[in-house]
Amino acid sequence: MLKNSTTTKTKGASDMNWLNESTRTLAVIGLHFGDEGKGKFVDKLTTDWADIVARGTGGANAGHTICIGDEKHVFHLIPSGILHPGKLNVIGNGVAVDPRVVVEELDILKSKNLATDHLRIAYNAHLVLPSHLVIDRLRESGSGKVGSTLRGVGPTYVDHYRRIGLQVRDLRNKDALWKKLKLNLEEHACFMRSFDREVIRDIMEHEHLLEGAYFRPNDLNVVFDSDAIVEQYLAYGRLLAQHIEDTDALMYQAVKSGQRILLEGAQGTLLSERYGTYPYVTASDCTTTGLAQGVGLSVRDVDQTLGIAKAFYMSRVGGGPFPTEMGGEKSERWCAKEGVTRDVELREYPSVSISKTNPIDSTTTEDFFMGVAIRRHGNEYGATTGRPRRVGWFDLPLLRHAAHVVGRDIALTMLDVLDACPEIKICTGYIYAGPDQWVGNRQLTDGHVISCAVPMADILEHCEPLYKVFPGWMSDITGIRSRKDLPRELLNIVSFIESEARVTTRVLSVGPDREQTIFDE
């Protein structure tokens, strides 16, 4: 499906050996449920290789940390390459754009006297409205809860496909904005009226955006103040005017003229609305196909994809099946509990830890506590929401599926997190233990062994993992810079994964810093 890439490697820096010399468009895609550590690769590739960095999926539900001086900022919409003034940063047509968030992120950059004129926003990307934020919360208050980040992304895509969505270009056209907004708000108000007013009031209190300006709480018929929204959105239009462009044409020209394009994936393959654990997914296709389309390119324009996976564990934020989750339902409940953050968890489980000086001991080997320990050591708390991420063992059936969709060149990240783990479990397959179900022309019955995951929630929730247990390496690997110097125990697991999932590990990440990376030699 992807353009054939030659095997000639990029000349020059040995740490770019894995990149084919002919590659002009490269996609960095998560193979799990997001948060795989894509940012580090995007950062390196932006610095050393790319001319253009482009996002094409998701919205402010994603989050990456950008360090400006000593301060850390979590950015949600502006691509990670923004600190490189020489490189164009593109928010493509497939991104759900909340103009308030873009303006806030631009303000942070401007307040630090940093350049912003290299940001381009697709004129045809769809707009998140204040009402989308409320709809997200209302949907999450009912039985269809998926653990959304509540950034209005899902409802924005819904309106896109219902053909009533507003686009970025509408920010510059008062009449069109007014007309389309009116239609949207009428429909949204109609949806909201099916909910109890107390529920809406509650949500309004949570949602700072709706205090005052956009909401008329005492008016039973008009829920949103369309005048206020039009004024505010036109103001955003004026602030963003210089960035709005036909980015589809820009990207087409960039491919034609041989520029180096880095496609920055958001979320991960297992959250893709098409290939993920449906219905517990996000609302865009976060694979190479969706990403290419979301920046106005064809998947044939993508020369190479680097799939990113955590090793040898995984994480998931929000609801949905997670067969290898450490602590199973107990962990899912704990991570979903309102108000649980890193500090709360530290107070609740002060003695659970994993560190080089304090290896996981026997009290920690209960799966749930192992999950807490790994979460703490890997800092697995959401960048966007602060929620604890659910943690589970590395799952080969899910990787086999993801690699099939995305490609077989992968990077393994977070390896140092398990430095003090005496045993490492890899899920090699599942035993199906649910009701008979047809999947295409084959029937799943109780006891069926599954090696490549069928990524549907109502199948995965009945899958019991089979594990192979490996000894851990129990040493600090953060200073190692060459694959041959890595502990034998660790390399055994990497080889096992490569042969079992038919993937090639191009890069190994042994710490958060850029230099803590081992490339193909």
Convert residues 127-146 into a mask of x (bound to ligand IMP by CB under 6 A) and - (unbound). Answer: -------------------x
**Pattern 266-295, binding to ligand IMP, x per CB under 6 A?**
-x---x--------x-xx------------
**Residue 96 C-beta: closest distance to ligand IMP, Å:** 9
Pull the structure tokens for residue 259.
Answer: 């520029």
Calculate Rg over the CA atoms of the chain: 23
The stretch among 289-297, 315-323, 328-336, 430-438 that binds ligand IMP (CB under 6 A) is 315-323
Q: Site map for ligand IMP, 429-448, x if CB under 6 A?
A: --------------------
Q: Is 154 in the site for ligand IMP (CB under 6 A)?
A: yes
Q: Mind giving me the DSSP string for 228-283? A: HHHHHHHHHHHHHGGGEE-HHHHHHHHHHTT--EEEE--S-GGG-TTTSSBTSS-S
Nearer to ligand IMP, 5 or 284 (CB): 284
Number of H helices, E strands in the chain: 15, 21
Interaction residues for ligand IMP, span 33-52 (CB under 6 A): 33-35
CB of 187 to ligand IMP, least distance (A): 19
| 423-432/449-450 β-pairing | antiparallel
238 vs 333, beta carbon nearer ligand IMP: 333
User: 191-194, long-range: CB within 8 Å, 24+ apart, which pairs?
Assistant: 191/135, 191/138, 192/131, 192/134, 192/135, 192/138, 192/223, 193/223
- Two structure tokens written together for 345: 């968890």
Q: Is 118 exposed, middle or buried (0-12, 13-18, 19+ CB in 10 A)?
A: middle
Q: How far is CA 293 from CA 198, 243, 300, in A?
A: 41, 20, 10
Minimum separation from the CB atom of position 319 to ligand IMP (A): 6
Marked catalytic residue, from 15, 43, 51, 64: 64
Residues 220-259, one symbol each (x = binds ligand IMP by CB under 6 A, - = not), give ----------------------------------------
Return the residue of 5, 25, 131, 148 that touches ligand IMP, per CB under 6 A.
148
What's the sign of the alpha-carbon dihedral 66, 68, 74, 75?
negative
Position 317 contacts ligand IMP (CB under 6 A): yes
Which residues make up the interface to ligand IMP (CB under 6 A)?
33-35, 61-62, 146-149, 151, 153-154, 267, 271, 280, 282-283, 317-319
